Structure 1
Amino acid sequence: MTAVHEITDTEGTQFDLTALLAPISPETFRAEYWERQPLLVRRDDPGHYDGFLTLDDIDAMISMAGAALSDVMVVSDGKTWKPGELAQGGRDALTNSLAALYERYRAGSTVVLNYAHDRWEPLQRSARRLGTELGALVRMNIYLTPPGSRGFKPHYDRHDVFVVQVHGSKQWQLGDPPYELPLHELPFGFAQEGTTLDREIELNAGDLLYLPRGTLHTAATGASASAHVTLGVHPVIWGHVLADAVQDIILTDARFRGGLPAGFTRDDALRDQVGQTFAELVEVLRERLTPHELTARAAHRATSNGSPALRHQLLDLERAATLDADTPVRRRPDTRSLLTETAAGPVLRVHHKAIPLSAPAVRVVRHAESAAAEWFSAAAISDGSADYLDAIRTLVSDGFLTLH
């Protein structure tokens, strides 16, 4: 069994990319499978994901979802319902929604818990860790299917998917992508009538299946129930980075906001003028969209997607004012951050905000990033001067550093 990686005892168990893919290395995965072809990892180890999620954990999540069961769906043969739409009982119908959900489950419907990483802290930690390693937004849904049932008809997703089988087994059918690397700007895709799904696999507890976006798939249970988690991976897209950069130029350069000459479609001379202007504008884009600028934009986008990792922030805020030169701090685990130079000076981009930094704060940030999970204090990296202490207090308050 692959060891589950932990940051500290206080942070708890989480899966990183190495544990998720084992025995396939992350390097092999990136080189041979990512956005290229499906990957099936068989382990013959039903308990491999016990530290990640169990059937009892799913039961607890459903029971604690509240009367409205928000973000929970019931699916049968491609049709979906909210549990509240199935409940009976007039004004008290919502209180019966959980019973209605299990009634549908017993009758063969799949139960889907969307955004499960927002409901269960171990999943949230793993989503953040995997998102940091992949430079992408990772979202998790749970699918609970009774024996002898099928939830969705053959379809493809517009994001990459890891299927983590945590309980039981499921039979999958796969087909080639009808559209290469589809984006969310395109409609959700169901398979055309007569489409062949020519690869069949059985996924058992402890196994992993990776599907590049666009891969046609459908799944059904046999004699046993099935519970799996889908890790939807939403990477930074080349075209989106370029489009955003071009949009910023349009908003800051009036030449790009002007209208084409009136009547140019009927006047050859005006059409020649339009072509010349386009050539000039393309040259402006070539000058301003440098590889360095675009790479910086992509890095900023990668550090900004996903929800902030702010567990224990309330406790940190209560203690920040009493922090002294010997108080141990460290970089908050799995916080996505980016230290950049701007015209106004150094800035730390973290938790969807930009924090201006003093020279002592820059040194603190660099030390925290190089030390990874190691604890340190103001006294350990300086003479304990007030400037370093103030910098650490600010970075604790802004959620980049955390207290022991």
Structure 2
Amino acid sequence: METLEASAHDCTAADGLAGLLSPLAEPEFLRHRLGSEPVVIRGRERRFRGLFGWPQLNEVLAAARTDASRIHLVRSADGVPLTSCAEPVPQLSPRGRPSRLRPDRLYETLSAGSTLVIDGIEELHAPLRALVTAVEGSLRSPLQANLYVNLGGAEQGFHTHWDDHDVFILQAEGAKHWDIHPPTEDYPVGVLSAPARPAENAATWSGELTDGDVLYLPRGWWHTVKAVEGRPSVHLTLGTRLPSAGDLLRRLLVHLARNHSLVRQDLPRFTEADHARDWYEALREVLVATACEPGLLDKLAREADGGPAVRPQFSLPYHWPVTDPVGSR
């Protein structure tokens, strides 16, 4: 597992994937590392100050409401009620029962060892949204940024685990200790896979990520993440699920169902054995003939590689594209 030294300048949203990976060239990463080989890139302190850190976190927390689908707490892989850190939001109109975080209670909970998690943090902070959008453009895959915060000395938030998607870890503040183990099953996929846990002493890489560092982990790589005593930490996880052969086959199934009535038929469960045998043979012929159709799989693969959905951008008071209200009279 290779460790590289980042360039000296700060990483900005405009730098996108190339800025996160420097000095590793983006084409080199996409061709030879993406989906297969992890890498650590050591960066200087405050490298991500223009993207995210303690000041930006405090702004987000002051404005955010306690939406359980976005903000939650973890400690030793067990949920800690966020309601213990919240209070009702004073409001004139009785629409729902919104709540917001109380600084004193959140501090107490984090000091006691909890980890704060904010999912989709890029939706709440424009510079991160710009970075995520730029990286999506390079990978041609949707991306989500999750934020993890602890005050140092926190218990292990999650057990040793693997992710079914690729991740880029940006250590924005403080430090975290990582133990990384190689996959125990090739290309595992969510609930379809149950790879064996790695041996305790089988770590490929063990060490601390500190302020300014980046770690890339392909899916399937096991990892254990622990707080560093006395080192409060803010780190971002940019997660992306790359198009796979499974995505191609799902599109192939849709193509088959649209073009062959046999694929839409019910299974011959109660018919005579001879008829059922003929039916399955006909289905096999359709599947093989379609899969061998020249150019079809390439076409479906290009569709699966169509890139992420466009994130919403608003241009009120005018609809996009903006037109000249005077010139249109």
TM-score range, shorter chain: 0.7 to 0.9
* Partner residue, 1:249: 256
Give the 3 Å change call, closer, same or farther, for CA 88–261 of structure 1 in structure 2: closer
1:119 deviation in Å? Answer: 0.7
AA matched with 2:207: I
Instruction: Write the distance in 2 (CA, Å) between the matches of 1:40 and 1:213.
Output: 15
Which of 314, 320, 323 is matched with 1:320 structurally?
A: 323
| Per-residue Cα deviation, 1:21-77 (whole angstroms, up to 9, x for no partner) | 01111122123321112101113x112111221221112111211255761111111
The structure whose RCO (Cα within 8 Å, separation 6+) is larger is 2
Which ranges of structure 1 fall in alignment gaps of 5 or more residues? 6-12, 325-389, 391-404
Partner of 1:397: none
Q: Where does 1:199-210 land on structure 2 (aligned, <5 Å)?
A: 199-210=205-216
**CA displacement at 1:286 relative to structure 2:** 3.1
* Residue in structure 2 matched with residue 127 of structure 1 by the alignment: 132
SS of 2:219's equivalent in the other structure is: coil
CA offset at residue 244 of structure 1? 2.2
Tell me the equivalent position of 2:311.
308
Correspondence 1:325-364 to 2 at 5 A: none
Which residue of 2 is the match for residue 42 of structure 1?
42
Partner of 1:136 in structure 2? 141
Over aligned residue pairs, what C-alpha RMSD do you find?
Answer: 3.1
Q: Is the 2:171–2:209 Cα contact (8 Å) retained in structure 1?
A: yes
Alignment correspondent of 1:111: 116
- Cα displacement (A) at 1:3: 5.6
C-alpha contact 1:117 1:124 (8 A) present in aligned 2: yes
Relative to 1, partners in 2 of residues 1:79 and 1:193: Cα closer, same or farther, differing over 3 Å? Answer: farther
Aligned match of 1:20: 20
Verify: 1:57 aligned to 2:63, yes or no: no
- How far apart in 2 are the matches of 1:126 and 1:14? 7
The Cα of 1:186 is off from its aligned counterpart by 3.7
C-alpha distance in 2, partners of 1:79/1:190? 22
How much does 1:276 deviate?
Answer: 2.9
Which of 235, 251, 255 aligns to 1:228? It is 235
Q: In the alignment, which residue of structure 2 is the partner of 1:33?
A: 33
Deviation at 1:233, TM superposition (A): 1.3
Residue matched to 2:164: 158
Contact 2:161 2:222 in 1 (8 A): yes
SS in structure 2 of the partner of residue 166 of structure 1: strand
Correspondence for 1:147: 152
Residue 16 (structure 1) shift: 0.6
**Which range moved further: 26-35 or 192-201?**
192-201
Distance in structure 2 (CA, Å) of the matches to 1:290 and 1:317: 36
Using the TM superposition, give the Cα deviation of residue 241 of structure 1 relative to its aligned residue in structure 2, in angstroms. Answer: 2.5
8 Å CA contact 2:66, 2:86 repeated in 1: no
Give the aligned residue type for 1:23.
P
Give how far 1:274 is off: 3.5
2:74 maps to 75
Post-superposition Cα deviations, 1:101-120, rounded to whole Å, max 9, x if no partner, equal 22210111111111101111
Does the 8 Å contact 1:155/1:216 carry over to 2?
A: yes
Report the Cα distance in structure 2 between the residues aligned to 1:318 and 1:297, rounded to whole angstroms.
26
- Cα distance in 1 for residues equivalent to 2:41 and 2:198: 30
Cα separation, 2, equivalents of 1:259 and 1:191: 38
Unaligned 5+ segments in structure 2 are 1-7, 91-96
2:3 counterpart residue number? none
Letter matched to residue 173 of structure 1: D
Q: In structure 1, what residue type is equivalent to 2:159?
A: K
Distance 1:80 1:190 in 2: 25
Alpha-carbon contact 1:110-1:144 (below 8 Å) kept: yes
Maintained 8 Å contact 2:142/2:241:
yes
Deviation at 1:229, TM superposition (A): 0.5
- Report the residue type matching 1:308 in the other structure: R
Q: After superposition, where does 1:143-222 map in structure 2 within 5 Å? A: 143-149=148-154, 150-186=156-192, 192=197, 195-198=200-203, 199-222=205-228
**Matches of 1:135 and 1:93, distance apart in 2:** 36
How far off is 1:260 after superposition?
4.1
TM superposition shift of 1:194: 5.6
Change (3 A) 1:246 1:313: farther
For 1:2, give the aligned amino acid: H
The amino acid across from 1:41 in the alignment is I
State how far apart, in whole Å, the 1-side matches of 2:266 and 2:187 are.
34
What is the CA-CA distance between 1:191 and the residue it aligns to? 7.2
Report the CA distance between 1:208 and its aligned residue: 0.7
Q: How many aligned residue pairs are there?
A: 310
Cα separation, partners in 2 of 1:87 and 1:320, compared to 1, 3 Å:
closer
User: Quick one: distance in 1 between partners of 2:69 and 2:263?
Assistant: 44
Conserved 8 A contact 2:162-2:219: yes
CA distance in 2, matches of 1:71, 1:254: 43
